[in-house]
Structure 1
């Protein structure tokens, strides 16, 4: 069944809870996030990729990502959308 642009748009406007994002992470990502939590990092959201879920975390203004295998990238080259 094909999704329409409207279906995708509606899905993206629905906000997921932090718990929902947490449930989307792999076991390896959860372990990495436990370690990062000691340094003040918190889970922002999870995005699904072809390689698995990618967790986006932050500590104040610093953004990091946790790959599906638990590898942490503290200096990812990315730009996040600004929300108003």
Structure 2
């Protein structure tokens, strides 16, 4: 029984090891998010990733140490309550 449990873990795709490139994240953005991000990209912000749940897609972008999120409607949040794994 333990051997089958271990083999199922080896098949698990760990997102921390294989991260999608920026083009894969870009294609996940809604049109409103793309327009909002384009405005911020002119100011030096970079797209980190898109977090997707059943009801919402949230783009996470950064400039230096400042994180910003953009919701599916294109609304920008300059003070998100978000902690990245690398900052824990």
TM-score when scaled to structure 2? 0.79
Unmatched segments (≥5 aa) in structure 1 = none
Q: How many equivalent pairs are there?
A: 79
Unmatched segments (≥5 aa) in structure 2 = 1-7
How far does the alpha carbon of each residue in 1:57-83 deviate from its partner, in whole angstroms, 9 at most, with x for none?
001110000001100001101111018
Structure 1 segments of 4+ aligned residues over 6 angstroms from their partners = none
> SS at the partner of 1:76?
coil
The alignment yields a C-alpha RMSD, in angstroms, of 2.0
Rg larger in structure: 2
TM-score when scaled to structure 1? 0.83
Indicate conservation of the 8 Å contact 1:51/1:68, yes or no. no
Change (3 A) 1:66 1:7: farther
2:42 is matched with 38
